[in-house]
Amino acid sequence: MKEDLFAELAESVREGGSILRGEKPASRSFHLDPLDIRNIRESYHLTQDAFAALLGISVRTLQQWEQGRRVPEGPAMVLLRVAAKHPDALLDVVREQPSLKVITRQQ
C-alpha cells in the first residue's frame, strides 16, 4: 500500500474513534421519523395477532413496539415502512404463501 493511502486510512480510523468517543461530531447522520405502528396495523384492520403473523414476528414484539418500549430496527423497520406506504405490495407477497391465511385489505 502506498504511504499516502495508508496515512489517509489511518487518519480515517482515528477520526472514527474520535466520533465514537464523542470528541468530534459526525459529518453527517441519518434520522428516520418514528413510525406509528399501531396506526399502520389499524389501517390493515387487523388484530395484533394477525398483524404479527403477517410480519412474521411475535405478538409480544409487536406489543413492545406499539407501546414504545422497543423500536424496530433494520429489516423490521424497512418492512414496516413498506407496510405503511405500499400495503397492497405487502399483501400480494403474503398471499403467495399458503402457510399464511391472510387477510385481505378492507377498505
Q: Looking at residue 51, what is its pLDDT?
A: 93
d(CA 32, CA 41): 19
Q: Looking at residue 27, what is its pLDDT?
A: 82
Measured in Å, how far apart are the chain's first and last C-alpha atoms?
Answer: 61
Q: What is the pTM of this model?
A: 0.62
Q: Looking at residue 99, what is its pLDDT?
A: 59
d(CA 59, CA 35): 17
Q: Which residues in the chain show pLDDT less than 50?
A: 105-107
Q: Looking at residue 101, what is its pLDDT?
A: 56
Q: Looking at residue 91, what is its pLDDT?
A: 85
* Helix residue ranges, H only, 1-107: 3-20, 37-43, 48-55, 59-66, 74-85, 87-95
